[in-house]
Each structure stands twice: as structure tokens, then as C-alpha cells.
């Protein structure tokens, strides 16, 4: 693989030089005043990206999976009931985690390609008159299918059912790329990570936690130490960490927030939409179909694309990697072999996206796909040039 070409996996994303430089720092003393002076504002500034004023930001040196575990362990007790919809690999894996931790998981199975089923949530919650369900778990952006769900609709369903359950949302592959409104949507825990919209290296789970979830923390019985919110909040209160913090990622997050604020969150979201829309125009020009069931569900961070009948999507991503040195996302779970994915999030330009489209076209041609070279590129070019926007500035 060549380091020179961008990656088109849906995270970890291409890291801009400015953030690589920020993470390149020499060791500093995490118990010294300058860490304290750095860390507290980083936590505060992260709130805007989650769309919360009331929530607390909590970070762990862990992956998004660790973030899920932290959400669950800090608020629930063995045997507690949770309601979850499964419509892709990541919702599936969160369910598995809940089961391993002894929760009573009520699953709503949906087609892969569907979004969060607000109506079915409402029905189940209404049926739960005893309020046995303690939390509803939703995946905002299902990375396996390229589906972004309407979290506001889930909130409306919960309200319609008059149900007091907490709502936990996985926004790992949407945050800082697609608008997220924690407070407006009444989200209780939002789980994200460093390696997607924040454009950093993998290694830090980033959560936002509502006052309601913080209250649940006091009675939750699931065991936890590394992921314990209480230790973390107590240490954070004086600018510290309960164990050795991931310094490089915290300083990286500080710089990432600066980049996001310099560009403006609205512009960040608009850029992701524009880049994604170019990809979708290309898909259409190729005569292919997205896994996402309908346009309202199309994700602006990742497109999962069905290969034609009789083709193997793994052969396609292999060809792109082996022949041209470019990584695309493979089809996960049910989609393995059937769909490939183009990640289009984080530090990316239209020019970079066009190189990805040109590459996958070559790989498709190599494998005798019925597509015309340049056709998807042309469709995206046409869209991009007619919808120009300010460039992301990645360096001072």
C-alpha cells in the first residue's frame, strides 16, 4: 500500500498534517499545570460538536467499543432491560455487548439498509407500561450500511409513548461530520471516537453524558473501574485523569476542535454533504444501488454500494488495493461480498474523492463490471463544480 493515496475506508480517516503535528508532541507531565490548563477547555469545547450544553464530556483511552461498554456499565445493572434496533453490523455488535454484560436485550430486527424504526420503538415503549426498559440504544450512523437515522424521530417516539427510558446513541461515524443535537434530541449518552470526524488517530473514546445518565450512574450495578464515570469526573474536576491520560490524543483533540471551529461546524456538515452527494451521483452514473433504502437515510460519511448480481465485492476492494494501492471499505456482516463502501468523511476534499472514484472505476473495469470508465467521475465532477464551496483550510 502506498501512503501517498488517501484511504476511503469509513475511518480511521485521513489525518491532516496539522493534526499529525499536534499529536507528534514530546511527553509532558500530566500532573503539571499546563495539562490542567489544556484539558479542561478541550472538554468544554467538545460540547458544541455534540450539540450539548447540559452534558458532560468524558474521554477514555479506548476505541468506540470501549465507549459503548462505558455507556452501559455506568448506567445499568445486571438484568436491566434495554431496547435496541438491529439494522447493521454496529447495532448488532452493541447488542452482543449488552448480552455479554447480562442485560435483558429486546431487539427490533430491521432490514440492513433501514434506519432506526421510530414507529416500532413507539409501539414497544408504549407496550412497556411498567417501564421495565431502562434504555433505548440507537445507532445514528450505521457504518456498515451507510444509513443515517433520524434521532429526533426516535425522541419523538419516546415522548409519544411517555416513556422515561434513557436514550444512548452511537455517533462514532457521524459526529463532527453530520449534525448532532444531543440536547435537542434528548440524548442521554452519545458515544464517539477520535478516529472519524475528529480526524485523529484511533485510541480515544469520546462521550457526552446527560444529567439524567449521570444520575443513573449512582445506582448502576454493573462492575467497572477503567470505564468508571465517577473516577473520571472526580479527576476531571481538578483537571486530571484517574490514570495516565492519552496526552497526544488530547492535544490532538484540542487542535481538531480549532480546525472544526475555524471552518465552522455548519460548513463542515455542508462539506460532508457535498462530498457525499458527488459520490452518490457517481453511483447513479454507474447504474449501481446504495444499500440505504431511501434518500432520507443516505449517510454523508459513508456510502455502502451493492455490486451487481454475480460479482463479489471483496474481489473489487482487493483489486483496488492490490492494483492501485487504495483502501475502500469491505462489506461487513450480511453485506460481505455483496457491497463495498466508500468512506467520505473527515479530512477530505473533492479532489481526493475524485481520485477514489477514478480508482474504483478502474478496479471495476479490471473485473469486467458493466461500467464506463470516467462516467462516475464525470457525474461527480459536474456536481462538485456546480456546487463549489470554501476549501477546508488545514494549515495556518
Binding status of residue 314 toward a copy of itself by CB under 8 A: no
Binding status of residue 219 toward a copy of itself by CB under 8 A: no
Binding status of residue 131 toward a copy of itself by CB under 8 A: no
Q: What angle do CA 141, 382, 140 make, to 5 degrees?
A: 5
- For the segment 75-94, give every residue that binds a copy of itself (CB under 8 A): 78
Residue 160 vs residues 149, 157, 190: alpha-carbon distances, Å: 18, 5, 22
Q: Which of 89, 97, 116, 167 binds a copy of itself (CB under 8 A)?
A: 97
Q: Which of 40, 43, 47, 63 binds a copy of itself (CB under 8 A)?
A: 63
Query: Closest approach of Cβ 148 to a copy of itself, in Å?
Result: 20
Element (H, E) at 189: strand 189-193
Binding status of residue 115 toward a copy of itself by CB under 8 A: no
Report residue 214: phi and psi, to 5°: -65, -35
Comparison of 165 and 247: residue with beta carbon closer to a copy of itself: 247
Binding status of residue 355 toward a copy of itself by CB under 8 A: yes
- For the segment 332-351, give every residue that binds a copy of itself (CB under 8 A): 347-351
Binding status of residue 366 toward a copy of itself by CB under 8 A: yes
Among the listed ranges 48-56, 117-125, 262-270, 354-362, the one in contact with a copy of itself (CB under 8 A) is 354-362
Q: Count of alpha carbons within 13 Å of 1, Cβ hemisphere only?
A: 12
- For the segment 242-301, give every residue that binds a copy of itself (CB under 8 A): 242-249
Residue 282 vs residues 145, 286, 378, 382: alpha-carbon distances, Å: 18, 6, 8, 10
Q: How far apart are the first and last CA of the chain?
A: 30
Alpha-carbon gap, residue 361 to 137, rounded angstroms: 38
Are the CB atoms for 193 and 64 separated by under 8 Å?
A: yes
Q: Which of 138, 327, 339, 344 binds a copy of itself (CB under 8 A)?
A: 327
Q: Which of 56, 203, 273, 340 binds a copy of itself (CB under 8 A)?
A: 203
Alpha-carbon gap, residue 42 to 28, rounded angstroms: 17
Tell me the residue length of the chain.
396
Among the listed ranges 123-131, 212-220, 287-295, 317-325, the one in contact with a copy of itself (CB under 8 A) is 317-325
Query: Closest approach of Cβ 385 to a copy of itself, in Å?
Result: 4
Q: What angle do CA 217, 218, 224 make, to 5 degrees?
A: 60
Comparison of 163 and 196: residue with beta carbon closer to a copy of itself: 196
- For the segment 21-50, give every residue that binds a copy of itself (CB under 8 A): 21, 23-34
Amino acid at each position: 500500500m502506498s501512503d501517498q493515496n488517501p484511504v476511503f475506508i469509513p475511518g480511521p480517516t485521513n489525518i491532516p498534517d496539522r493534526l499529525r503535528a499536534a499529536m507528534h508532541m514530546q511527553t509532558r507531565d500530566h500532573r503539571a499545570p499546563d495539562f490542567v490548563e489544556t484539558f479542561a477547555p478541550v472538554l468544554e469545547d467538545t460540547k458544541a460538536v455534540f450539540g450539548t450544553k447540559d452534558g458532560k464530556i468524558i474521554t477514555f483511552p479506548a476505541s468506540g467499543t470501549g465507549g459503548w461498554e462505558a455507556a452501559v456499565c455506568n448506567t445499568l445493572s445486571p438484568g436491566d432491560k434495554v431496547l435496541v434496533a438491529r439494522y447493521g453490523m454496529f447495532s448488532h455488535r452493541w447488542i452482543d455487548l449488552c448480552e455479554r454484560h447480562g442485560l435483558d436485550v429486546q431487539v427490533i430486527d430491521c432490514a440492513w439498509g433501514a434506519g432506526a424504526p421510530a414507529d416500532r420503538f413507539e409501539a414497544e415503549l408504549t407496550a412497556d407500561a411498567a417501564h421495565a426498559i431502562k434504555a433505548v440504544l440507537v445507532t445514528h450512523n450505521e457504518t456498515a450500511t451507510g444509513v443515517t437515522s433520524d434521532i429526533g424521530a426516535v425522541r419523538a417516539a419516546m415522548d409519544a409513548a411517555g416513556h422515561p427510558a434513557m436514550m444512548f446513541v452511537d455517533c462514532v461515524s457521524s459526529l463532527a461530520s453530520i449534525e448532532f443535537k444531543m440536547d435537542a434530541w434528548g440524548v442521554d449518552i452519545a458515544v464517539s471516537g477520535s478516529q472519524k470526524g475528529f480526524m485523529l488517530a484511533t485510541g480515544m473514546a469520546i462521550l457526552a453524558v446527560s444529567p439524567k445518565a449521570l444520575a443513573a450512574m449512582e445506582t448502576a450495578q454493573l462492575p467497572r473501574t477503567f470505564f468508571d464515570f465517577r473516577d473520571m469526573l472526580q479527576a476531571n474536576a481538578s483537571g486530571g485523569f484517574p490514570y495516565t491520560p492519552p496526552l497526544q490524543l488530547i492535544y490532538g483533540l484540542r487542535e481538531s476542535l480549532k480546525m472544526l471551529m475555524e471552518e465552522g461546524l455548519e460548513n463542515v456538515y455542508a462539506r460532508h454533504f457535498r462530498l457525499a452527494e458527488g459520490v452518490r451521483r457517481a453511483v447513479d452514473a454507474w447504474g449501481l444501488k446504495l444499500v440505504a433504502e431511501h434518500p432520507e437515510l443516505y449517510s454523508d460519511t459513508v456510502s455502502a454500494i451493492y455490486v451487481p448480481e454475480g460479482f463479489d465485492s471483496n474481489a473489487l476492494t482487493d483489486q483496488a488495493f492490490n492494483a492501485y494501492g487504495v483502501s475502500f471499505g469491505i462489506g461487513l456482516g450480511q453485506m460481505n461480498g455483496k457491497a463495498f463502501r466508500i468512506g467520505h468523511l473527515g479530512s477530505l476534499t473533492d479532489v481526493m474523492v475524485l481520485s477514489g472514484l477514478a480508482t474504483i472505476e478502474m478496479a471495476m473495469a479490471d473485473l469486467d463490471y458493466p461500467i464506463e470508465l470516467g462516467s462516475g467521475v464525470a457525474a461527480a465532477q459536474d456536481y462538485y463544480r456546480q456546487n463549489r464551496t470554501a476549501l477546508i483550510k488545514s494549515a495556518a
